[in-house]
Amino acid sequence: MNFLKEVLNTNPLIPLFLSLAIGFWIGKIKIGRFELGGMSGCLVAAVIIGQVGVPVDPVVKSMMFALFIYATGYVSGPQFFASLNRKMLSQLHLALVSCALVFLFVYVTAKIFHLDKGTAVGLLAGALTESACIGTASEALQRLGLAPDVLKSLEANIGVTLQRKLFKII
């Protein structure tokens, strides 16, 4: 296991291409009528390979996150634009109202429980169940010009739920 970790740490491209190869293989496995797909398979493989403790350059992280968002848009974009018609107006209203209500809920909750920015953004990302929200929040925190220790603490809190704060209050 140490040999594998050493090889992956010394050659940063190996984990990247290994996650792609294993991910596409995982994505093609069919269980009944269920198939994970290449993009999701690569994500699962990358998470598993990341558990070995391979450090990833921040530039590579940002680039891969951007490619993930691009691929998601590329797959779902044509379906989205094909569905634009008058029937969709009711769904558009629902989306706008739900976004506004979720943002308002997170803002009020953060003020009431005195949550830091990282925890509030983590709460927003969890409420919206949106990976793009987590990546965008991390990027926004990095651009605030905070001290490295404060930034690390806030980024760690992005994944924290409100449950820990609630149990302290109760």
Question: What residues does each domain of the chain span?
Answer: 85-170
Q: Does the pLDDT value for residue 165 go beyond 50?
A: no
Q: Which of 52-56, 89-93, 101-105, 144-148 bottoms out in mean pLDDT, i.e. has the lowest?
A: 52-56
Q: What is the mean pLDDT of residues 102-119?
A: 84
Q: What is the mean pLDDT of residues 61-85?
A: 80
Residues 37 and 76: beta-carbon distance below 8 Å: no
Rounded to the nearest angstrom, the gap between the alpha carbon of residue 163 and the centroid of all alpha carbons in its chain is 20
Q: What does the alpha-carbon distance between residue 27 and residue 35 come to, in Å, rounded to a whole number?
A: 6
22-53 pLDDT per residue, tens: 989 988 888 888 888 887 888 888 888 777 77
Q: Does the pLDDT value for residue 162 go beyond 50?
A: no
Model-level pTM? 0.44
> Crossing angle of helices 58-82/38-50, nearest 10°?
160
Residues 19 and 42: beta-carbon distance below 8 Å: yes
